[in-house]
């Protein structure tokens, strides 16, 4: 029977869940099963990665390593070509360490992994794997084993277009939507998580893997666009429009269904299984648009690429990434999702970069200048934290990280567009990531308590221990002592594995590379979610 079930809820936050659990929201108790898990099990705030973004955070959950070790920092990576910048998408081949699914497979455990990002092309595992963030057109060739698609397609009601990203629909998302349009958009998103649940239930019933993992991402997508409908500090049913009330009904229905999914999968796994609910980050509302590259221009660190008015020039102006004159740019933010500043060092291909002897002084002055950026109306400082990469992302892959990582006062994502002024106030708060995610666990020996704050990197160690593995020595997290009753922990001690020296088992590269159309679809999805700007 299945030993461990992990259900990831992308962006789940106690800010939204607590009223649904304790019944203090207008709808009463919306998630009774999760309420029971928390009452009878262990729960805690889960601190995300240094920059709380989906790809690095979920990769940390799946590898037990922080970004400085696993090497994933963003949806998109770039290569500095000197006179230009080459952008492409991260994928599984960029992960520099093994996933827990691979480690467990080599030790004879069976696994199922569903809808986790950065898992395409799929690594070989002892079980089944369907990666997330894949267009329906490319699902078949991105499943492991190759025969899995036919199994999934035989499930009653299976619809690959509902299961995968609908890039055309997502492309309709903007930072602002009229409530009527938002209602239709939310309504169209509910079927996707139902598809994932149906697949999950069939594979759990049929395969009974030792380790079963499923990620549902509707929580993130809905909170991004409908935060003003969900945030209990903002939502006021007495003043809401009829369309807004219908949006609220739909999102509450969504969370009811998620609770049912958790309940059904927990029951199917059986009473002896450990069930873990985890999010990659939390959520909050963003009030500011911070145009960081516009501010860097004011500081004299970058120059925009001029447009000649041609069609090619117009396309560059509407590019998804920083559109700069690279010969005259020393520091820039590559993407909104990165919240990072890259300092270009002087080299043969970048002669106008910052000389090595001046790098530290340049970086220190840049930090000081960034911390001075304020809202011109209120005077509020909009950047509250600037981390050097050696502090944010220590590890062998640190050099691939941005030189500086920014935290905004509202935890929002920056803008990289060439627009003025550098700081403006949003007319309506937009849902954005917060570093505080959730952790909930139930099952044999689990203490019924609210525990101290945990780290997201602990999750893989907990899964490894729960499924009966020795915790790999390379894992950076731990199994918190407060998680289990003392007697159960004494009978089931945490065992540490010896360090291993074998290299990462690389994901297969024999398959067809992602087509240009697939990459465009994926980038359209990032734009739709607000990680890349129109």
What is the residue-wise DSSP string for 233-277? TT--TTT--HHHHHHHHHHHHHHHHHHHHHHHHHHHH-TTSEEEE
Tokens found for residue 1 = 């029977």
What sign for the dihedral angle of Cα 162, 259, 45, 483?
A: negative
Query: With bands split at pLDDT 50, 70 and 90, how would you rate the model's confidence at 310?
Result: confident
Alpha carbons 185 and 179: distance in angstroms, whole number:
10
Percent of the chain with pLDDT over 90: 77
Q: What's the alpha-carbon Rg for the chain, to the nearest Å? A: 23
- Reference 182, options 100, 92, 248; nearest CA is 248
Identify the DSSP state of 284.
E
Strands (E), 48-162: 76-80, 85-89, 111-116, 127-131
Region for 208 from its dihedrals, namely left if φ exceeds 0, alpha if ψ lies in -120 to 50, beta otherwise: left
Which is more confidently placed, 506 or 490? 490
* Cβ contact 275:401 at 8 Å: no
User: Mind listing the pLDDT tens digit for each residue in 72-112?
Assistant: 999 988 888 888 888 888 999 999 999 999 999 999 999 99
Q: What is the pLDDT of residue 184?
A: 83
What is the spatial distance between Cα 396 and Cα 293, in angstroms, rounded to a whole number? 28
127-156 pLDDT tens trace: 999 999 888 888 999 999 999 999 999 999
Reported as a single tens digit per residue, the pLDDT across 10-22 is 999 999 999 999 9
pLDDT of residue 162: 87
Residue 429: the pLDDT is: 87
Question: All domains of the chain, ordered by start, with CATH?
Answer: 4-281+435-442+457-527 (3.40.720.10), 287-429 (no CATH)
Give the CA distances from residue 46 to residues 13, 211, 277, 448, 455, in Å, rounded to whole numbers and listed in that order. Answer: 10, 21, 11, 17, 5
pLDDT at 418: 87
Averaged over 494-515, what is the pLDDT? 61
pLDDT over 70 percentage in the chain: 89
Task: Please check whether residue 140 is in contact with residue 526, taking contact to mean a CB–CB distance below 8 angstroms.
Answer: no
The answer to whether residue 242 scores a pLDDT higher than 70 is yes
Reported confidence tier of residue 60, pLDDT bands at 50, 70, 90: very high
pLDDT, greater one: 479 or 518 = 479
- How many Cβ atoms are within 10 Å of 140's Cβ, its own excluded? 15
What backbone torsions phi and psi does residue 276 show, to the nearest 5 degrees?
Answer: -120, 130
Of 58-67, 223-232, 253-262, 444-453, which gets the smallest average pLDDT? 223-232
**pLDDT for the residue 176:** 62
- pLDDT level of residue 500 (50, 70, 90 thresholds): confident
For residue 476, the model assigns a pLDDT of 97
Residue 351 exposed, middle or buried by CB count within 10 Å (0-12, 13-18, 19+): exposed
- State the pLDDT at residue 322: 67
Q: Tokens for 286? A: 């963003």
**Pairwise pLDDT comparison (312 vs 248), residue with the higher score:** 248
pLDDT at 504: 58
Residues 168-199 pLDDT 10s? 544 444 446 788 888 888 887 789 999 999 99
- pLDDT-based confidence at residue 519 (cuts at 50, 70, 90): low
Beta bridge partners of 496: 471
Average pLDDT over residues 278-291: 96
| pLDDT, position 189 | 79
Q: What is the pLDDT of residue 133?
A: 86
- Beta strand 211-216 with 111-116: parallel, antiparallel or unpaired? parallel
| Amino acid 524: pLDDT | 59
Hey, what's the torsion of the CAs at 126, 130, 131, 134, to 10 degrees? 150
* Structure token pair of residue 71: 């090497």
- Span 343-357, average pLDDT: 95
Residue 363 has pLDDT above 70, yes or no: yes
Using pLDDT thresholds of 50, 70 and 90, give the confidence band for residue 512.
very low
How far is the C-alpha of 35 from the C-alpha of 67, rounded, in Å? 32
């Amino acid at each position: 029977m299945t030993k461990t079930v992990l259900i990831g809820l992308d962006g789940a936050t106690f800010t939204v869940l607590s009223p649904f659990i304790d019944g203090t929201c207008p709808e009463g108790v919306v998630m009774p099963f999760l309420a029971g898990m928390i009452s009878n099990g262990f729960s805690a705030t889960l601190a995300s990665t240094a920059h709380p973004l989906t790809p690095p955070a979920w990769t940390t959950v799946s590898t037990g390593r922080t970004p400085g070790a696993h090497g994933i920092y963003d949806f998109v990576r770039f290569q500095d070509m000197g006179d230009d910048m080459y952008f492409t998408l991260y994928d599984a081949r960029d992960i520099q360490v093994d996933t827990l699914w691979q480690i467990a497979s080599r030790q004879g455990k069976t696994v199922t992994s569903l809808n986790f990002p950065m898992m395409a092309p799929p690594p070989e595992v002892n079980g089944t794997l369907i990666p997330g963030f894949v267009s329906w057109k490319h699902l078949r060739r991105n499943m492991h084993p190759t025969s899995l698609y036919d199994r999934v397609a035989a499930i009653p009601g299976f619809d690959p277009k509902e299961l995968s990203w609908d890039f055309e629909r997502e492309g309709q998302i903007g930072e602002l939507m009229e409530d009527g349009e938002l209602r239709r958009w939310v309504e169209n998103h509910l079927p996707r998580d139902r598809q994932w649940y149906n697949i999950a239930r069939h594979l759990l019933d049929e395969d009974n893997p030792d380790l079963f993992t499923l990620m549902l991402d509707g929580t993130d997508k809905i909170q991004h666009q409908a935060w003003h409908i969900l945030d209990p500090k903002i939502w006021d049913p007495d003043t809401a429009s009829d369309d807004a009330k219908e949006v609220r009904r739909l999102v509450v229905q969504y969370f009811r269904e998620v609770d049912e999914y958790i309940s059904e999968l927990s029951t199917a796994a059986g009473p002896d299984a450990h069930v873990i609910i985890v999010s990659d980050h939390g959520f909050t509302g963003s009030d500011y648009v911070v145009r960081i590259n516009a501010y860097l221009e004011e500081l004299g660190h970058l120059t925009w690429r001029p447009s000649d008015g041609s069609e090619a020039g117009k396309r560059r102006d509407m590019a998804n990434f920083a559109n700069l004159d690279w010969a005259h740019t020393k520091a820039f933010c590559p993407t909104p999702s990165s919240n990072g500043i890259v300092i270009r060092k002087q080299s043969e291909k970048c002669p106008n970069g910052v000389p090595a002897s001046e790098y530290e002084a340049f970086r220190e002055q840049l930090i000081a200048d960034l911390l001075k950026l304020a809202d011109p109306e209120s005077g509020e400082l909009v950047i509250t934290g600037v981390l050097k990469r050696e502090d944010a992302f220590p590890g062998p892959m640190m050099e691939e990280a941005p030189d500086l990582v920014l935290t905004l006062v509202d935890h929002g994502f920056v803008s990289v567009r060439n627009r003025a002024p550098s700081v403006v106030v949003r007319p309506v708060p937009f849902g954005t990531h917060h570093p505080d995610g959730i952790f909930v666990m139930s099952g044999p020996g689990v203490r019924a308590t609210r525990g101290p704050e945990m780290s997201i990197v602990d999750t893989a160690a907990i899964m490894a221990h729960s499924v009966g593995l020795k915790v790999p020595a390379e894992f950076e997290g731990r199994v918190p002592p407060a998680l289990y009753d003392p007697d159960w922990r004494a009978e089931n001690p945490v065992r540490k594995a010896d360090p291993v020296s074998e290299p990462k088992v690389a994901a297969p590269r024999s398959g067809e590379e992602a087509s240009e159309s697939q990459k465009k679809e994926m980038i359209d999805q990032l734009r739709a979610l607000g990680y890349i700007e129109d």
